[in-house]
Amino acid sequence: MAKGEGQAERRLMAVHAHPDDESITTGGLLARCARAGVQTCLLTCTDGRHGPVNPDLGLDLDPDGLALARAAELDAAARELGIQVLHRLGYHDSGIAGSPANQASRAFWSQPADDVLARVVAIIRSFRPHVLVTYDPFGCTGHPDHIAAHRTAVLAVEAAGEAGMYPAAGRPWMVSRLFYPVFPVSAMRAFIGETLEQGRPHPMRGLDAEEINYTRADETVTHWVDIGCVYERKCAALSRHRTQVGRHYPQMYRSALARREREHFRIAVDRPCPREWGDIFQPVGK
């Protein structure tokens, strides 16, 4: 019998593309789960070697050096969020859509889908999550690595439950619920308004909330998670990504941290679940 089977233990897994993504969109959820005694697993698909480097640090890092730095940052952020199990696929990040980096031999976007899927199915069958969280089909921001993470996670959720698929990856496991993080238009509108009221420049370069590619209509939200009691943990986790958090790219981090009370989600798969999650995920309207 697998660990946790027949017990009251609850397990949640998050699949993200880059180090720091876990804190931006699901940091509150992961910290809230840790507070509630839920076992959590984070799978990060790339090493972030082609990301920016906070100029305030005065560091001159080549891709290998940045990957090492971001690995240590991810470890520190995972500790802040109380994550029990951390997996890395170790692929190189792929760059923006259409860039030559998409086709590099180690880029996540260019990997044979079956190879990646077998690895993720093995992780799901080992950890045996009741709930899995990953990006929506657009990858939240449209980044190729986010889209690849979505495709891999959704396929793996289904394949993990099929005994005939990847038999060497362990005993089948059926994930009960799949959620996508959502940044509601109303939350972005509130962030923009509060920033302007403080006499600061428009945080999104003049774009309306609806024009920002990672916002979604409020009616797509099906559930929310109260993160007020763990908000400081989310802030602490994001701050651990020192190479990324800085004046060179403040908008997404600032907008994420402006959401002090709730993180929002859309349920994509809802199957009978042997564990109760009503203290974590609150349905909209209740």
Does an H or E element contain 223, and which?
strand 223-226
Q: Report the mean per-residue pLDDT for the chain.
A: 94
For the chain, what are the domain ranges?
A: 11-183+218-270
Reported CATH class of domain 11-183+218-270: alpha beta
* pLDDT tens-digit readout, 43-96: 999 999 998 899 999 999 999 999 999 999 999 999 999 999 999 999 999 977
Does an H or E element contain 225, and which?
strand 223-226
Q: Residue 5: pLDDT band by 50, 70, 90 thresholds?
A: very low
Q: Is the pLDDT of residue 114 over 90?
A: yes
231-239 and 21-35 are packed helices; what angle lies between their axes, rounded to 10 degrees? 140
* pLDDT tens-digit readout, 170-201: 999 999 999 999 999 999 999 999 999 999 99
Q: What is the dihedral of CA 231, 233, 234, 237, to 10 degrees?
A: 160
pTM for the model: 0.94
Q: Is the pLDDT of residue 261 over 90?
A: yes
Assign 62 to helix, strand or coil: coil
